[in-house]
Amino acid sequence: MLDEGRNYITTGWWLALFPGVAILRLVRGINLVGDWLRDALDPRMERGM
């Protein structure tokens, strides 16, 4: 979808914007889940509670 919208970026900017934002949010969410899993499961990290 992002590649198809590239041809129309000057006239229909939303064709590339919304799929790009969706990809950005997906990657950010995966990174946050990965960080949370590392913090929860890594035995070498000290828990300073």
Q: Split the chain (49 residues) into runs of 10 and give each run's mean pLDDT.
A: 80 85 97 94 73
Are 15 and 8 within 8 A, CB to CB?
Answer: yes
pLDDT on residue 48: 58
pLDDT on residue 37: 93
Torsion of CA 25, 26, 31, 34, to 10 degrees: 140
Convert 16-30 to b/e letters by CB count within 10 Å (16 or more is b): beeeeeeeeeeeeee
pLDDT on residue 7: 82
The two tokens of residue 29 are 């969410």
pLDDT on residue 23: 94
- Domain positions in the chain are 2-41
pTM: predicted TM-score of the whole model, two decimal places: 0.68
